Amino acid sequence: MRREILVASLLVLAFMAAPAGAFSADNLVIVVEEDGSAEITFNYTLSWIERIAVFFKIAEPEQELKAALEDALGVPVTVASAESDVAAFSVTRFAKTSDVDDRETYSTPGLDLTGAQAILDSYWFAPLVEADFSPDLTVVRFPDGHEETFSDQSTIPALSHATA
């Protein structure tokens, strides 16, 4: 009995002494289609504890990101694919389109990724994870190839672009 208590105590101490894991947003690419829909690809790095949670199906990063996107955009989001370090999403009605002076104009909504923190906070392992929801690089690409880029920003502003 003493041995089990000793082993359990050592495990608890080791777990408490272990460095916090980190979720890191690496790249976010938003490709706006001609009809205003968008394909969104999110590359990220999971901490060791998040990888364990994913392995045991306690957490599904793509579902948390889907929920955060739906909350931020106010439109349905479909998970197109998901792997351990990348998730792809399809969003209909992402950008509003209009014809101004014979030029197609695309207006995209702002995107605030900090809502993902609230979702992460709902998990039991949240105190063990330091999350960074600011992608190292965010690219918004319009149908004519024009790109807007942002570095280390968790909030992407609304954009408007008229095709040439």
Domain range annotation of the chain: 20-155
Mean of pLDDT values over 125-143: 83
Question: How far is residue 95 from each of residues 7, 32, 64, measured CA to CA in Å?
Answer: 56, 7, 22
With contact defined as beta carbons under 8 Å apart, do 163 and 142 qualify?
Answer: yes
Q: What is the pTM of this model?
A: 0.78
Q: How confident is the model at residue 6 (pLDDT cuts 50, 70, 90)?
A: very low
Nearest Cα to Cα of residue 33 among 78, 90, 72: 90
* Percentage of residues in the chain having pLDDT higher than 90: 40
With contact defined as beta carbons under 8 Å apart, do 133 and 117 qualify?
Answer: yes
